[in-house]
């Protein structure tokens, strides 16, 4: 026969399986398209700051080397030709 302990264990296991994922609740602000877009904007802003810092450091390094002065040529940006 079934004793009380096996019944309690069975009911507890059934509740855990029926309830789905066990863990802390996820706030609705962290789920969905809006949260993803905000996270991407933060990452893009961080990447932009890092690129600006790297460009500033590179420009300082280039201006300090006298051998490279006069050899650098500023070319126009590349543009696709013949595309619609």
In this predicted model, what pLDDT tens digit does every residue of 2-42 receive, in sequence order? 688 888 888 887 776 666 666 777 787 878 888 889 999 99
Residue 9: inside a domain? no
- What total of structural domains would you count in the chain? 1
Structural domain of 39 = 29-62
Residue 40: inside a domain? yes
Residue 24: inside a domain? no
Residue 46: inside a domain? yes
Where does 1-84 have alpha helices with state H? Answer: 4-19, 33-64
Residue 67: inside a domain? no
Return the exposure string of 28-49: e unless at least 16 CB atoms fall within 10 Å of the residue's CB, then b: eeeeeeeeeeeeeeeeeeeeee
For the entire predicted model, the pTM comes to 0.41
pLDDT digits (tens, 9 = 90+) for 41-58: 999 999 999 999 988 887
Residue 68: inside a domain? no
């Amino acid at each position: 026969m079934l004793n009380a302990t096996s019944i309690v264990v069975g009911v507890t296991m059934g509740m855990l399986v029926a309830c789905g994922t066990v863990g802390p609740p996820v706030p609705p602000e962290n789920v969905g398209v809006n949260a993803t877009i905000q996270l991407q904007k933060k990452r893009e802003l961080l990447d932009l700051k890092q690129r600006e810092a790297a460009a500033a450091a590179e420009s300082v390094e280039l201006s300090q080397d006298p051998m490279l002065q006069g050899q650098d040529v500023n070319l126009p940006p590349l543009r696709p030709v013949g595309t619609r």
